[in-house]
Structure 1
Amino acid sequence: MEHLVNSRVKKIELSGIRQFFNRVAQYDDVVSLTIGQPDFTTPEHVKGAGSQAIDENFTSYTHNAGFYELRVAAANFLKSKYGLTYSPETEVIVTVGASQAIDCTFRTILEEGSEVLLPGPIYPGYEPLIQLVGATPIHIDTTKNGFRLTADLIRPHLTEKTRCIVLPYPSNPTGVSLTRTELREIAELAKEKNLFVLSDEIYSELNFSGEHCSIAEFAPQNTIVINGLSKSHSMTGWRVGLLFAPEVIAKHIIKVHQYNVSCASSISQKAAYEALANGIDDAIVMRNEYEKRMNFVYQRLTNMGFDVVKPDGAFYLFPSIKQFNQSSFDFALSLLEHAKVALVPGSAFSSHGEGYVRLSFAYSLEQLEVAMDRIEKYVKNVE
């Protein structure tokens, strides 16, 4: 029966991140810096709200867009943090993680033959969703521009088929962000060409400057903002995403969301409300710790001779391994086998990631120190 499976689905492969993570499981005594998941636990007051929701039988369907008080809290969060204004009645949708929000958005705004512009390297979760609706992902090489997508890089790739620009900043896998000037210039271009902007801001609270800026500030009518609680409140398994869009767009996205999942988990929604209403600054402690870890790993890598762009946020470093004259997969595999350290091959993040590896520093300083010692020893042996 496999020959009857949707041909687009058959062409999609498992994420290169997960493929390499699964390979790591075959080895013993490995320090794995592969998965982008906070190593902090969900805040106690947030867990308590989830438990209370169960005890109080808050276990039924909610409004498709999420229960109203949560949407109010989400709108207040964006207003307080980033100065963005959205109506909780019509412009906020609570989703099953940011991934579902992205999927619903693409299925709403894209058509067969549409083109979507993305910075390369980039997290691999966008391309398959674009292809599933018959659209075409166009990766733009940012490796010579500090991994930042700018209006000047975008313009040569615009065609009559261009429908959307994806801005995933702070970035996975590079950790870089865009400046206000760069965002404003892209916003002007989007308005001029009548393009959608999908702004994935899931790492917004992990910006080391403490001052995240959203392109929605400059092009609100063109922009769909994706956010959530996974990174800011260490709630990856709770699966709560947040989607913000002008009513004229949101009223169509909610239809896709409704028939896809009906609504996000009611219990998770209660926990999310607690996080947004009473834990608005919960991420600060984590952000400060991640910055400390980043500085440690960045210094160690540069001392070893790696060429690496210093991140502005998130919890990733993306050092170049071109000096070793190996593919990113071969380098990562050799490092795994000989140094017992697992990093993700850069090729998992589009062809523009080739020649790099991704290192997640969402691990304890003790683990990071062991990993750096092992990498340093490995590098000395291969030189």
Structure 2
Amino acid sequence: MKNGTYEVHLNLNVRGLPVSATLGINEESNRLIAAGKQVYKLGLGQSPFPVPGPVVQELQNNAHQKDYLPVRGLPALCDAVAHYYRRTQDLPISQENVLIGPGSKELMFILQLVYYGDLVIPTPSWVSYAPQAHIVGRHVYWLETDEKNNWLLTPEELENLCQADPSKPRVVILNYPNNPTGCSYSPEQLQALAQVARKYKVILLSDEIYGELNFKGCHQSIARYYPEGTIIASGLSKWAGAGGWRLGTFAFPAELKWLMEAMAVVASETFTATSAPIQYAAVRAFRGGDKIERYLHNSRRVLKALSDWIWTTMTRAGVTVARPDGAFYMLPDFEPLREQLEAKGIADGETFCRRLLQETGVAILPGSSFGRPKKELTARLAFVDFDGARALAAAEQYSAEQPLDEEFLKIYCEKVLTAINKLCDWLK
């Protein structure tokens, strides 16, 4: 107590740390909407699609589940996750090497807490990787990527970092399809990265939470090529539309079981166990089946059609955009239009996004929120502001191989199309 008020003592690693950029833009958008403004919410990357019906039914069936579950997760769910990776990636993941948490975000935080090593992140990357390391007090090393290479990490960049101090313990995060670019790695690129990781005994955290949203349905895990050193992160939030359910999964190789056990100890003293009804419902999601596959197929069709339309429209407007391979993001670069933007008093991404929101109601995030330089004119847009349930129901009426055309998008994704047209008109 000092002068009648309580003194505030914050951990130095937390002091001055801002709220997550994606959550912040969502809150700002909601404030503007509450004030009567028209806002196009392309800031928060929340899946527009509903949770698959069979999974919702399982949640209803298990609403009565009230007991604490094992800290590592419901055995049936761990088994379903392990079987999922055996079925989809031909990986020898066992039930004993799966860890369940209240969102993959929490599991990533605990990993950094228990593993004493540097965090290596390609830039651009998801907004929470680096702040989590900052909270824990870990060193963060950003690895530069190039727009000409679709913002993907190259084996040469990883080699250059590792050879400077070959024995240093490191966790390297790969995320693909990537947030914020939507771009993914080819099998050949994954093999080349795996060779470098194995050479330096790097632990790879492969964040594959968007894997099932690869537009062609052909996602490959880097764990196929470096199984002994790769942890695969996933969950329900993106491919199953269940962001608010907060369920994440980590799948470990047997060689890293010691790391999983250390994480489980921390989990036992923090979140204790993940929600029981959610875990029972998640078993149905990871077991898959015809209804889940049809849901995923139509989700991919809608997202691919929308991505293609946005990419074409923005490219015609003079914007440089790496073409996405999956998910619901892209990272346009407005650098070719710098001269005309500077004439409007816009010289960096943050100013660009602030003015865009003020003058058009289109909410997107600057590239600096994802590790890019502040002076850069990159920004991430999440093309999710549409009624996903309605779009999926309409896609069901098209034959399985029939592409969804612009007329479909005008009817079922109208707000996203309007937002992109407003943005392009504003650029003129």
TM-score after normalising by structure 2: 0.84
Aligned 8 A contact 1:49 1:274 in 2: yes
Deviation at 1:4, TM superposition (A): 2.6
Residue 164 (1) aligns with residue 168 (2): no
Corresponding position of 2:271: 261
* Counterpart pick for 2:426 among 355, 378, 382: 378
Q: Distance in 1 between matches of 2:240 and 2:355?
A: 35
Structure 2 residue identity aligned to 1:120 = T
The residue matched to 1:8 in structure 2 has which SS? coil
* Counterpart pick for 2:132 among 129, 136, 142: 129
Structure 1 residues 260, 232: CA separation in 2 closer, same or farther (over 3 Å shift)?
same
1:202-253 Cα offsets, whole Å, 9 max, x none, are: 0000011211111111111111110111111111111111110122332222
Deviation at 1:143, TM superposition (A): 2.8
Name segments (4+ residues, structure 1) moved above 4 Å: none
Structure 1 residue identity aligned to 2:50 = T
The residue matched to 1:7 in structure 2 has which SS? coil
Matches within 5 A, 1:13-28: 13-27=18-32, 28=37
TM-score after normalising by structure 1: 0.93
Who wins on radius of gyration, i.e. which is larger? 2
Q: Distance in 1 between matches of 2:414 and 2:110?
A: 40
Residue 43 (1) aligns with residue 55 (2): no
Corresponding position of 1:357: 379
Matches within 5 A, 1:63-82: 63-82=70-89
Q: Distance in 2 between matches of 1:248 and 1:349?
A: 31
Structure 2 residue identity aligned to 1:328 = G
Structure 2 residue identity aligned to 1:148 = L
Deviation at 1:11, TM superposition (A): 4.0
Q: Distance in 1 between matches of 2:90 and 2:216?
A: 17
* Counterpart pick for 1:272 among 277, 282, 289: 282
Which stretches in structure 2 are left out of the alignment for 5+ residues?
A: 1-5, 387-412
Deviation at 1:194, TM superposition (A): 1.4
Corresponding position of 2:349: 328
Structure 1 residues 78, 2: CA separation in 2 closer, same or farther (over 3 Å shift)?
farther
Aligned 8 A contact 2:110 2:263 in 1: yes
Deviation at 1:352, TM superposition (A): 4.2
Corresponding position of 1:93: 99
Q: Distance in 1 between matches of 2:173 and 2:250?
A: 14
CA-atom RMSD in angstroms = 1.7
Corresponding position of 2:233: 226
Q: Distance in 2 between matches of 1:321 and 1:69?
A: 48
Q: Distance in 2 between matches of 1:226 and 1:278?
A: 18
Q: Distance in 2 between matches of 1:338 and 1:273?
A: 46
Identical pairs, percent: 28
Q: Distance in 2 between matches of 1:163 and 1:278?
A: 34
Deviation at 1:45, TM superposition (A): 1.7
Q: Distance in 1 between matches of 2:273 and 2:103?
A: 11
Structure 1 residues 362, 138: CA separation in 2 closer, same or farther (over 3 Å shift)?
same
Structure 2 residue identity aligned to 1:96 = P
Aligned 8 A contact 1:141 1:352 in 2: no
